[in-house]
Each structure stands twice: as C-alpha cells, then as structure tokens.
Amino acid sequence: MKYYISKTITDTTVANLRPKVEEALKAEGFGVLTEIDIQAVMKKKLDKDYLPHLILGACSPVYADKVLSIDPHMSTLLPCNVTLRQLENGDVEVSAVAPLVAMNMVDTPGIEESAQEINDKLNRAIDNV
C-alpha cells in the first residue's frame, strides 16, 4: 500500500493551484495550519535550486479532537501533510500522506475508524482538485 495519495494536474502552477487545494480541503473539513516552502528553504539553507514545492499542514479539528481524546500521543502524527510540487514537465502533483497507512502503526482501539474516515476525506479532497 502506498503511503501517500496523489493526483497530477496539467497546465497550472503551484501558486495557481494552491487556492483550489485549500478549497477542496475546506470542503472536507480541513484547514491549513502551517506552510513550508521547500523551494525557499532549500535555497536559503543549501543554496540549491528547487522547483516550486509547498508542504501544507492540514488539520480537521473534529478528527484531531477525536483521535487526541483517545490517545494524546497522536499529536505526533498531526497535522496531515499535503504537498504541491511543480514537476519538470510543468504539471503539478498534489499529494497527501495516507492517514490509514500512517496511523496503521497505532494499535489503540478506536483509531483505525478515524484513520479510515480521514483517509477517505483526503482522497475526496485530492480527487476534487
């Protein structure tokens, strides 16, 4: 099983696609809490050139509350990373961690059901970009 969910979008840029990704996430109950600009970080820290590449930290407060109420250590797996990465051919790949796979290592009762629901929501969000 792949550890990520992804979709490639043609004829766009990371900057143009970002609002659509955020809208699709919002429709599934996620908000973006954090952003890491990989292109800027790699240039600043290593003087390396990267194509545009963002990591968005997406979180559903409802599900965060649900899993944290069961197991406070679940905070180590939050938020869900959603990435937008410009490819060499000009397309943009939108990817997200697959929560069902990421949370598979947790054997706390009640977590698997939430992981499946979060996984389904992220799949729908990416499908709707």
pLDDT digits 0-9 by tens, 38-79: 999 999 999 999 999 999 999 999 999 999 999 999 999 999
Q: What is the CATH number of domain 4-127?
A: 3.30.310.70
Structure confidence at residue 103 as a pLDDT band (50, 70, 90): confident
* Cβ partners under 8 Å of residue 26, min gap 6: none
Q: Is residue 39 a contact partner of residue 51, using CB atoms and an 8 Å limit?
A: yes
Q: How far apart (Å, rounded) are the C-alpha atoms in residues 97 and 58?
A: 10
DSSP for residue 79: S
Give the predicted TM-score (pTM) of the model: 0.94
Prior bond of 79 cis (ω within 30°): yes
- Domain boundaries defined on the chain: 4-127
What angle, rounded to 10 degrees, do the helices at 14-27 and 111-127 form?
Answer: 130
Q: Is residue 84 a contact partner of residue 17, using CB atoms and an 8 Å limit?
A: yes
Structure confidence at residue 1 as a pLDDT band (50, 70, 90): confident
Q: For residue 29, which of 128, 122, 123 has the smallest C-alpha distance?
A: 122
Q: How far apart (Å, rounded) are the C-alpha atoms in residues 73 and 18?
A: 30
